[in-house]
A and B are shown apart, each in its own frame.
Chain A
Amino acid sequence: MDFSWDDEQRAFRATVREFLAAHLPSDWESLAHGPGTEWQSTFSKQFCGALAEAGLLVPHWPRRWGGRDADPWTSFILAEEMWEAGEPRGGQYMNVNWIGPTLMRFGSEEQQQRYIPPMAKGQTIWCQGFSEPEAGSDLASLRTRAEKDGSTYRINGQKIWTSYAGHADTCFLLARTSPGRNGISIFLLPMDTPGITVRQIPSVIGEGDIHEVFFDDVAVPATAMLGEEGKGWEIVRTALSLERVGIPRFALATRMLHRAVDRLKAAGRFGVGAIEQAARARAACESARFYSYSIVDQRRHGITVGPEASAARYATVLAERLVSEFVVEHVPEALAGADQMLLSHHQRAIVAGVASGAAEIQLNLIASDLLGLPREPR
């Protein structure tokens, strides 16, 4: 067991940090750069383009698609540094983490040629058409229909809470082609297809983040289907397992905790109560970090990742919560114009236990699969 970084890993982290220092605008930390704003979406194409040119956008992808087959630690160090910096890749992190790799595995040659190169160049934004008004945690009950009509499918229905939809070029859409769990199919749907309406939902988490997307008799060619009809659920499960560690939220949470503490110390306000809460939050961040590292380590050694991934995700939710609560209680001015970076982090932290599936689902998985408790009756 070794808890140190090797020379190559240290050098890679330094390279990523140098890149960030050279490519983030000087006023980056004072900008309201929620991941879905128009500014961020435009900036992400410029930034990811430069990342791609430097070989830092998709190093873990195969050479054929512009990567260098880098190991899971490389992509995780990259993700840590990006998230800690405030995720300048915006919604494009999804492309590199799981949409690209899923297309490589399940896509047709035509789909791969059409969609993967723009991702590898950092020039395209995707959204994830999963949740619906009646299908959140119970995603498999989704109702958006795709009915075959000759060589096309006609899509009708609604998605909700869709991140980045306002600026997305393409939607990774789950739709029902027949009843039941085996009746879900995936469509790669250009967002400029007639019949799609996107409405932004004003939210606490920032401008441009979540949307409703309506599909009104949207016609897509059958060639837009990813994989076979009815295999959507299987593909999505595999796709999300490519990204079992989740976003390294602990990296930004740790940095923001230190930032908040520095403000308090400078103001002579780092008293006993704050010290105790800060220590608790710092330990929770470190716990989340090493839980996540343990998952990366398993992937690095080709071990199938089990329910520990749910524990890693939940540890991250706990850490985000403690840091966020610390800032609200001890640095309330951060939410009132004094520190845009702390404010942006707060807005991101709110969704830690909700986005990518409710944390309670993870708790159920931990109870059954990690602890071995008997399952709930259905």
Chain B
Amino acid sequence: MDFRLTSDQESLVEAVDRLALQFQHKPTEFHGFALFGEELESELQQGEYFDIAGVPEFGPLTAAMAVERLARLPFTAEIAFSMLVRPHLAGDLPRPLAVIENGRPGRFAATAKTLLVIEGDRVSIARPAAGDVESVESLFAYPMGRLKRALDLERLSDADAEQARKWLRVALAAEVSGLLKAAIDSTVEHLTLRKQFGRPLGTFQALRHRMAECAVLAGGVRWLMLKAAGTGDDGDAALAVSHAQESATRVAYEVHQMLGAMGMTLEHPLHLWTYRLKALLSELGGRGGQARAVSRIIF
């Protein structure tokens, strides 16, 4: 065990943070849900960040750190699948990727070049053409899309499907970890500035304890996510998502409660993180699906 970052990891994380600086604030005029970061995506592409998991000195663990940090931004793009799942799939699959799970709308599905189609126990690859997919309006703060028609599917072998599921789990946990951090940070800022009864809200113990519990949960998600990315172990990945979805449910509720009416507005960025968290709650079978995986792999 040694949790210090290598100098390569440190420099990559710093580079990601530098790149992220210009995307840190929600544009004031944006009052919507899916704040897509076209420029962010293009910069990541140009900097070859989507391929870092395959670089020996970085690997999936560093990619997970990058996903986690980029998920804190108000802008979103298809980053996690490309950085953490695509390198573990056979063949040269064009990005962006999206997942269609049991026929439901999926994040980034309307613009994806590669689809991972999950139907029960089967995982298949599809390459959608224009007209095969369409955008869906939603409360979720990701661009959502769905299939318009049945596509030709290349079914993955059971082993490849397991591999895909594992890295989808790591990608999901890394994304949740970043979203939790951003949602909590944003709430802490509100609780520090907003005064009622003559003092900052953050001085009231009823709120402090709940925020502290949220922080503990979020930190735990981060550790489990890093471990899963570092070990590439199926059980670790299932535990990470189990804890991530469990914690996301709790934190999404608490931070909206703390923000009061301000959190209901589209002016405040909170919904960008919480409605992404809510989109992720049901993925990969939701908490029940993770529990079955934990039971099968660990118990």
Residues of A within 8 A of B (CB): 1-5, 9, 73, 258, 261, 265, 270, 272, 275-276, 278-280, 282-284, 286-288, 290-291, 293-294, 296-297, 300-301, 308, 311, 314-315, 318, 360, 362-364, 366-368, 370-377
Contacts and interface: CB of A to CB of B under 8 A. Distances in A.
B230 A3 contact: yes
B295 A279 contact: yes
Nearest to B199: A377
A1 B9 contact: yes
Nearest to A290: B223
Most buried by B among A270, A280, A362: A280
A377 B203 contact: yes
28 contacts: A1-B4, A1-B226, A2-B2, A3-B1, A5-B1, A265-B299, A270-B295, A278-B294, A278-B295, A279-B290, A279-B291, A282-B239, A282-B242, A283-B294, A284-B220, A287-B223, A287-B224, A290-B223, A291-B219, A291-B220, A314-B213, A315-B219, A315-B220, A367-B202, A367-B211, A370-B215, A373-B188, A377-B199
Interface of B: 1-6, 9, 61, 184, 188, 191-192, 199-200, 202-205, 208-209, 211-213, 215-216, 219-221, 223-224, 226-227, 230-231, 236, 238-240, 242-243, 246, 287-288, 290-292, 294-295, 298-299
Given A3-B230, A286-B243, A360-B209, A376 B203 contact: yes
A367 B209 contact: yes
Contacts of A284: 220, 243
A276 B61 CA distance: 28
A167 to B, nearest CB: 35
B291 to A, nearest CB: 4
Contacts of A73: 1
Contacts of B202: 367, 373-374
A297 to B, nearest CB: 4
A367 B223 contact: no
A73 to B, nearest CB: 7
A371 B6 CA distance: 26
Given A283-B243, A367-B202, A376-B208, A261 B6 contact: no
B209 A363 contact: yes
Contacts of B208: 363-364, 367-368, 373, 376
A272 B289 CA distance: 11
Contact of A311 (B6, B209, B219): B219
B2 A1 contact: yes
B295 A275 contact: yes
B5 to A, nearest CB: 6
A195 B237 CA distance: 59
A319 B298 CA distance: 17
Contacts of B224: 283, 286-287, 290
A332 B212 CA distance: 32
B61 A1 contact: yes
Contacts of B291: 275-276, 278-280
Contacts of A276: 287-288, 291
Contacts of B213: 314, 363
Contacts of A371: 184, 188, 211-212, 215
B220 A363 contact: no
A58 to B, nearest CB: 22
A262 to B, nearest CB: 8
Contacts of B205: 364, 376
Most buried by A among B191, B220, B288, B292: B220
A71 B188 CA distance: 37
Contacts of A290: 220, 223-224, 227
B212 A287 contact: no
A314 B298 CA distance: 24
A377 to B, nearest CB: 6
A375 B5 CA distance: 32
A318 B242 CA distance: 15
Given A287-B243, A293-B3, A308-B219, 19 more contacts: A1-B4, A1-B61, A2-B2, A2-B230, A4-B1, A278-B291, A279-B291, A282-B242, A286-B227, A287-B224, A311-B215, A314-B212, A314-B216, A315-B220, A368-B208, A372-B188, A373-B200, A374-B203, A377-B199
For the complex of A and B, 3 pairs with smallest distance between CB atoms: A287-B220, A279-B291, A373-B202
Nearest to B200: A374
Most buried by A among B184, B239, B292: B239
B192 A293 contact: no
B4 A301 contact: yes
Contact of A364 (B2, B199, B212, B246): B212
Nearest to A289: B223
B162 to A, nearest CB: 18
Contact of B239 (A286, A311, A375): A286
A135 B233 CA distance: 47
Contacts of B292: 275
B243 to A, nearest CB: 4
A283 B200 CA distance: 34
A261 B219 contact: no
Contacts of B221: 287
B126 to A, nearest CB: 31
B203 A261 contact: no
Contact of A375 (B188, B191, B203, B227): B203
Most buried by A among B211, B215, B292: B215
Nearest to B227: A3
A372 B288 CA distance: 35
Nearest to B195: A374
A371 B191 CA distance: 11
A300 B4 CA distance: 11
Contacts of B216: 291, 311, 314-315, 318, 366
Given A1-B230, A372-B188, A376-B205, A366 B299 contact: no
A73 B3 CA distance: 13
Contacts of A9: 1
Nearest to B204: A376
Nearest to B184: A371
A3 B290 contact: no
A189 B294 CA distance: 51
